[in-house]
C-alpha cells in the first residue's frame, strides 16, 4: 500500500525541540482501534500528545525530538497491529484511498462468489448442497476474506484491548466450530442445524459495509483532494539564457520561473518581468482577475490569464499559501473534538460489556429457558455481531471532516476540530472597526491649520515625525504628504506610544501627533478646537491632533470606507441571535457614526489595542461565550483571548494568522457562514451520536431475543452483521448530507 502524506514536521511554539507530525494510519476498524493507538503511542518517552482520527485515518503526534524519533513512532504503531506512514507527496494519499476502496470491492466480490452455494440453499428449490462444499466455502472465507478480522483481534487481545474485530471473530469462531462439531459428531448433537452460512454471509455483509464506508469516507474528504489537485505539477526555471522544466516541488527560493498565459503559477513569488491579470478566485473568491505588474506578489496555484511572466520564487513547497491552507485543514481534520471524548469513554468499555451480554444471553436461553443449543448460540452470536463500536468512532470525526471540507471550499479555515463545535455556542461577537467593518485603508480627508499655520506646514511637520511609524493612520498621513509632494522635516528623539501617538523634537521644539487621549495625557488644552472636532466626528471621521510646544496647531481628519458587505453581514449576524459590539480606538462620537452606518447598536470606543484583550475578558466574566472578529494587525491578543477568534486574513501567511477561524477571502459575510457551518456540523455530530447509541440500545436486546416470546422473531447472526455494517455506513452518509445543505452557507446568494 502506498504511504500517504503528512505535512512536514514543524517546531512547536511550546518547546524549541518539540515536533508535530501527521501520520497516515492503515487498518483501523472502530473507536477501540483509535484508543489502542493513542494509548500505545502515548506511553513512548518524549510523546507530548497523540490524536487519532478514525475517519481521516490520521494520527497527529507532538513529541520531543531528542527522546523519540519518527521511526520509533511508526514501529510502535506496527507493533499494535496497524500500519503507519508518513511522507510529503499528498497524491499518494488519494491513491491509497482509491486502492483501499478497490481492494474492499474485490473482497466483496470474492466472498459473494463463496456465498453462492448458501444462496442456492435459501431458494425455494429445495436444492441440497453437500456439507463438504459448505465446509470448503466457509473455510476459504475465513482464511481469505475473514483473515483480517482475526489479525485485528489477535493484536487487540495481545495489547489488552477490545475492538470490533474481537466481536466479529467471536461470532465467526463460535459459528464455524459449532458447525464442524455438528457435521463430524452428529450423534452428540440432537439439533443438526449448522451455521456455515452465517460464517460466509457475515463476512460478506461486514466486507460490504467496509466497502461502502470507504466510498463514503472518500467522498467526505474530497474537498481536500480538490485543493491538492489545484497545484501546478511542473515549473519552467530560467538559468542564464536557458529554460528547463522541472517538478514544481523542486523549485527553490530565489529561482526565476517563467509562466505562460493560461498556466497555473507554480509557487508564491514576486513578478520580475511582465504584466498580466491573475485569477485569484481559489484564494480570494473573487471571479474577476486582478491586474499584476512588476513588483507585485502572486500566489501559487492561481491562474495567469493573459501575460507572459517571469517571477522570483519567495515561498516554495510547504511554505506556499496553498500548502499552508492544506496543512491547516489536515490538522483540523486530524484533531479530536471535545464531544468525541464521551464517545471514546463509552467505546473503552463497550466490547467487554457486549461480550458479557452475549454470555448472559446464551446462559439465559440455554440454561434458564431450556432452549436448544443452536437457538441459544444463535442469539449469543447475534448479540456479538450486531454491537457496533464503529458508529461511535465515526460519529464525530466524519462530521468534522465534511464540515471542515465545506469551510475549505468557501475560504473558511478552522484551525482545530474543537472550533467547529464551539463556534456554534457563540453569544457575543466583538467586531473591530478598522479592517473588519471598514476596509482598513484610511485616507486623509481634511487638514485644518490653526494659529497661523497652513495645511502644507501641518502636513510637513506631521509626516516628518510619523514617517517611521507602521500605524495605519500614520501611514495614511505620510501617503497624503507624498501625494502632495511634501517632504517631512527630520526629527530627533522620536518616541511612539503604541496606539496613542508619537512625539519628536525639531531643534528645540517638541511636536506631538496623536489621539485625544495622547493630547490629554500631555495636558494640552483642547477647548479652542471643540467645534471643529465635533464637525469631523459627526461625519464619522477619525481625528489626528498635531501639537507644537503644548499648543494645537492642526487637525487631520481621516475616513475609512465601510465595507460593502458590512451592513448585510451585521443584519445576518443579528438574525442569528448574537449580541454585536463594535470595538474601536476612535472617539465615541465618530465611532457611533460608523456603527449607525452598519447597524451595530453597542459600541466600545477609545479602546487601545492593548486594552482589547481586557475588554474580551470583561465580557467573558459576565458568563458569555465571546467571539472576536479582527484583521490580526493590532488585535492579535484579543483574538487569542476570545473563546473564538475570527481573523479576516489577507491570505499572505495563513499558518501564522492569529485566531481560531481564518476567513481567507476577506469577506465579512463569511463570519455568518462560519457560525452556520459550526451549528450545522454540531447538529450532525449529535445526530450521529444519537443514532450510534440508539442503534446499539435497540439492536442488542433484539439480537438477544427479547421479541421472540411475543412475536416469535429471532435475528439471525448474518442479518445482525448486515445491520452492524449499515449502522456505520448510515453515520457517514448522514454526515455527507452536510454537503447537500452547502448552499445554506452561501448566505450572499
Confidence of residue 420 (pLDDT cuts 50, 70, 90): confident
pLDDT of residue 569: 94
The arrangement of strands across the sheet holding 661-663 comes to: 412-414, 661-663, 644-648, 626-630, 428-432, 579-583, 602-604
DSSP string, 548-574: ETTEEEEEEEEE-PBPTTHHHHHHHHH
Q: At what angle do helices 669-704 and 339-363 cross, to 10 degrees?
A: 10
Q: Is residue 370 left, alpha or beta, with left meaning phi > 0 and alpha meaning psi from -120 to 50?
A: left
Global confidence as pTM = 0.77
What average pLDDT does this structure show over 408-424? 87
Backbone angles phi, psi at 491, to 5 degrees: -105, 155
- Report d(CA 673, CA 572) in Å as an integer: 10
Is 601 an annotated catalytic residue?
no
Residue 617 has pLDDT above 70, yes or no: yes
In this predicted structure, the answer to whether residue 12 has a pLDDT above a threshold of 80 is: no
Mean pLDDT for the stretch of residues 317-322: 81
Check residue 209 and give its pLDDT.
Answer: 78
The one catalytic residue among 279, 335, 344, 432:
432
What are the pLDDT digits (tens) for 672-681?
Answer: 999 999 999 9
pLDDT number for residue 11 = 41
Beta-sheet pairing, 234-239 with 242-247: antiparallel
pLDDT at 748: 45
Which residue in 296, 252, 302 sits closest to 272, CA to CA? 296
Query: pLDDT at position 313, please?
Result: 93
Q: Which residue has the cell 475570527?
A: 646
Rg (CA), the chain: 33
634 has pLDDT over 80: no
Nearest to 396 by CA among 438, 356, 340: 340
Instruction: Provide the mean pLDDT of the chain.
Output: 84
Q: What is the mean pLDDT of residues 622-627?
A: 92
Rounded mean pLDDT, 704-716: 90
Q: Looking only at Cα atoms, what is the longest distance across the chain?
A: 122
Q: What's the pLDDT at 187?
A: 74
Q: Which residues of 455-465 are buried (b: 16+ CB within 10 A; e: fewer)?
A: eebbbbbbbbb
Q: What is the mean pLDDT of residues 678-685?
A: 92
The β-bridge relationship of strands 303-304 and 256-259 is unpaired
Q: How confident is the model at residue 92 (pLDDT cuts 50, 70, 90)?
A: low
pLDDT of residue 167: 83
Q: What is the mean pLDDT of residues 79-99?
A: 66
Residue 747 has pLDDT above 50, yes or no: no
Question: Do the strands 579-583 and 602-604 form a parallel or antiparallel pair, or are they unpaired?
Answer: parallel
Burial of 253 (0-12, 13-18, 19+ CB in 10 A): middle
Residue 163 pLDDT greater than 70, yes or no: yes
Helix and strand counts by DSSP (H, E) for the chain: 26, 27
* CB distance 194 to 183 below 8 Å: yes
- Percent of the chain beyond pLDDT 90? 32
Using CA atoms, how far residue 16 sits from 11, 63, 64, 648, 653, in Å, is 7, 11, 9, 29, 21
Most confident stretch, 161-165, 295-299, 650-654: 295-299
For residue 706, is pLDDT > 70?
Answer: yes
Tens of pLDDT, residue by residue over 72-84, are 899 999 988 888 8
pLDDT value at 422 more than 60: yes
Q: In the chain, what are the domains? A: 18-87 (3.30.70.100), 252-315 (2.70.150.10), 411-438+562-672 (3.40.50.1000), 439-561 (3.40.1110.10)
- 292 with 271: CB under 8 angstroms? yes
pLDDT at 356 over 90: yes
pLDDT at 14: 45
Q: Where are the alpha helices (DSSP H) in 364-388?
A: 373-386
Q: What tens digit of pLDDT does each residue of 504-544 get? A: 999 889 999 998 889 988 899 888 888 888 888 888 888 99
Q: How long is the chain?
A: 749
State the cell numbers at 47. 510523546
> Is a pLDDT exceeding 90 seen at residue 373?
no
Contact in structure between 456 and 486 (CB atoms under 8 Å): yes
pLDDT (mean) for 470-485: 90
Q: Which of 101-105, 116-120, 187-191, 705-709 has the lowest mean pLDDT?
A: 187-191
Mean pLDDT of 4-12: 38
**pLDDT surpasses 90 at 390:** no
Percent of the chain with pLDDT over 70: 90
User: What is the grid cell recorded at 311?
Assistant: 517571477
Tell whether the model's pLDDT for residue 585 goes beyond 90.
Answer: no
* pLDDT given for residue 185 in this prediction: 83
Q: What's the average model confidence in pLDDT over 494-508? A: 87
Q: So what's the pLDDT on residue 633? A: 66
Q: pLDDT at residue 470 above 70?
A: yes
Taking alpha carbons only, the member of 298, 259, 258, 260 closest to residue 280 is 298
Q: For residue 501, what are the β-bridge partners?
A: 497, 514
Average the pLDDT over each of 236-250, 338-352, 414-428 and give the range with the smallest value: 338-352
Q: Which of 192-201, 430-439, 516-525 has the lowest mean pLDDT?
A: 192-201
Q: How far apart are CA 350 and CA 207, in angstroms?
A: 22
Condensed to tens digits (0 to 9), the pLDDT of residues 47-61 reads 988 988 887 788 888
Residue 550 has pLDDT above 70, yes or no: yes
pLDDT recorded at residue 656: 52
Amino acid at each position: 500500500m502506498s504511504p500517504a502524506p503528512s505535512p512536514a514536521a514543524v517546531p512547536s511554539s511550546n518547546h524549541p525541540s518539540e515536533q508535530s507530525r501527521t501520520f497516515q494510519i492503515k487498518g483501523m476498524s472502530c473507536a477501540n482501534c483509535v484508543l489502542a493507538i493513542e494509548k500505545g503511542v502515548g506511553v513512548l518517552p518524549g510523546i507530548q500528545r497523540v490524536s487519532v482520527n478514525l475517519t481521516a485515518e490520521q494520527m497527529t503526534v507532538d513529541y520531543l525530538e531528542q527522546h523519540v524519533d519518527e521511526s520509533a513512532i511508526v514501529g510502535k504503531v506496527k507493533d499494535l497491529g496497524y500500519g503507519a506512514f508518513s511522507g510529503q507527496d499528498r497524491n499518494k494519499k488519494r491513491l491509497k484511498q482509491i486502492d483501499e476502496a478497490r481492494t474492499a470491492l474485490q473482497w466483496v466480490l470474492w466472498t459473494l462468489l463463496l456465498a453462492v452455494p448458501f444462496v442456492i440453499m435459501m431458494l425455494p428449490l429445495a436444492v441440497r448442497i453437500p456439507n463438504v462444499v459448505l465446509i470448503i466455502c466457509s473455510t476459504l472465507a475465513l482464511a481469505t476474506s475473514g483473515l483480517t478480522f482475526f489479525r485485528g483481534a489477535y493484536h487487540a487481545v495481545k495489547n489488552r484491548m477490545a475492538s470490533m474485530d474481537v466481536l466479529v471473530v467471536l461470532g465467526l469462531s463460535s459459528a464455524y466450530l459449532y458447525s464442524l462439531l455438528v457435521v463430524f459428531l452428529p450423534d452428540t448433537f440432537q439439533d443438526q442445524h449448522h451455521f456455515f452460512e452465517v460464517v460466509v454471509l457475515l463476512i460478506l455483509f461486514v466486507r460490504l459495509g467496509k466497502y461502502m464506508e470507504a466510498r463514503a469516507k472518500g467522498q467526505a474528504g474530497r474537498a481536500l483532494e480538490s485543493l491538492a489537485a489545484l497545484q501546478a505539477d511542473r515549473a519552467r526555471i530560467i538559468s542564464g539564457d536557458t529554460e528547463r522544466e522541472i517538478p514544481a516541488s523542486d523549485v527553490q527560493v530565489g529561482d526565476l520561473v517563467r509562466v505562460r498565459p493560461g498556466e497555473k503559477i507554480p509557487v508564491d513569488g514576486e513578478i520580475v518581468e511582465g504584466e498580466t491579470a491573475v485569477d485569484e478566485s481559489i484564494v480570494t473568491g473573487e471571479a474577476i482577475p486582478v491586474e499584476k505588474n512588476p513588483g507585485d506578489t502572486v500566489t501559487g496555484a492561481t491562474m495567469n490569464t493573459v501575460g507572459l511572466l517571469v517571477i522570483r520564487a519567495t515561498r516554495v513547497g510547504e511554505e506556499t499559501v496553498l500548502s499552508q491552507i492544506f496543512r491547516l485543514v489536515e490538522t483540523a481534520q486530524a484533531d479530536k473534538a471535545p464531544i468525541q471524548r464521551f464517545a471514546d469513554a463509552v467505546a473503552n468499555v463497550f466490547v467487554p460489556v457486549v461480550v458479557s451480554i452475549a454470555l448472559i444471553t446464551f446462559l439465559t436461553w440455554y440454561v434458564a429457558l431450556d432452549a436448544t443449543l443452536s437457538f441459544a448460540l444463535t442469539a449469543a452470536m447475534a448479540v456479538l455481531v450486531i454491537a457496533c463500536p464503529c458508529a461511535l468512532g465515526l460519529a464525530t470525526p466524519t462530521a468534522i471532516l465534511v464540515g471542515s471540507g465545506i469551510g475549505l471550499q468557501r475560504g473558511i479555515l478552522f484551525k482545530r476540530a474543537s472550533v467547529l463545535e464551539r463556534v456554534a455556542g457563540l453569544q457575543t461577537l466583538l467586531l473591530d472597526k478598522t479592517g473588519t467593518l471598514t476596509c482598513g485603508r484610511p485616507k486623509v480627508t481634511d487638514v485644518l491649520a490653526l494659529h497661523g499655520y497652513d495645511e502644507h506646514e501641518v502636513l510637513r511637520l506631521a509626516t516628518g515625525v510619523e514617517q517611521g511609524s507602521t500605524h495605519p493612520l500614520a501611514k495614511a498621513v505620510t501617503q497624503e504628504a507624498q501625494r502632495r509632494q511634501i517632504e517631512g522635516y527630520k526629527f530627533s528623539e522620536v518616541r511612539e506610544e503604541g496606539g496613542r501617538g508619537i512625539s519628536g523634537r525639531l531643534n528645540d521644539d517638541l511636536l506631538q501627533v496623536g489621539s485625544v487621549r495622547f493630547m490629554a495625557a500631555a495636558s494640552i488644552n483642547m477647548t479652542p478646537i471643540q467645534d471643529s472636532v465635533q464637525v469631523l466626528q459627526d461625519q464619522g471621521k477619525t481625528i489626528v491632533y498635531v501639537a507644537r510646544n503644548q499648543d494645537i496647531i492642526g487637525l487631520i481628519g481621516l475616513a475609512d470606507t465601510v465595507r460593502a458587505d458590512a451592513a448585510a453581514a451585521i443584519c445576518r449576524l443579528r438574525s442569528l441571535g448574537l449580541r454585536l459590539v463594535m470595538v474601536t480606538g476612535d472617539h465615541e462620537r465618530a465611532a457611533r457614526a460608523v456603527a449607525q452606518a452598519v447597524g451595530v447598536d453597542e459600541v466600545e470606543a477609545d479602546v487601545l489595542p492593548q486594552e482589547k484583550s481586557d475588554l474580551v475578558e470583561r465580557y467573558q466574566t459576565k458568563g458569555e461565550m465571546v467571539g472576536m472578529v479582527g484583521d490580526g494587525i493590532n488585535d492579535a491578543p484579543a483574538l487569542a483571548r476570545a473563546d473564538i477568534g475570527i481573523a479576516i486574513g489577507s491570505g499572505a501567511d495563513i499558518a501564522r494568522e492569529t485566531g481560531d477561524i481564518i476567513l481567507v477571502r476577506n469577506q465579512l459575510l463569511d463570519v455568518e457562514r462560519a457560525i452556520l457551518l459550526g451549528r450545522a456540523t454540531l447538529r450532525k455530530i449529535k445526530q450521529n451520536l444519537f443514532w450510534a447509541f440508539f442503534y446499539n440500545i435497540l439492536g442488542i436486546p433484539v439480537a438477544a431475543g427479547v421479541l421472540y416470546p411475543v412475536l416469535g422473531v429471532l435475528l439471525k447472526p448474518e442479518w445482525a452483521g448486515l445491520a452492524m455494517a449499515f449502522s456505520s455506513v448510515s453515520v457517514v452518509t448522514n454526515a455527507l448530507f452536510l454537503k447537500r445543505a452547502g448552499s445554506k452557507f452561501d448566505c450572499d446568494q
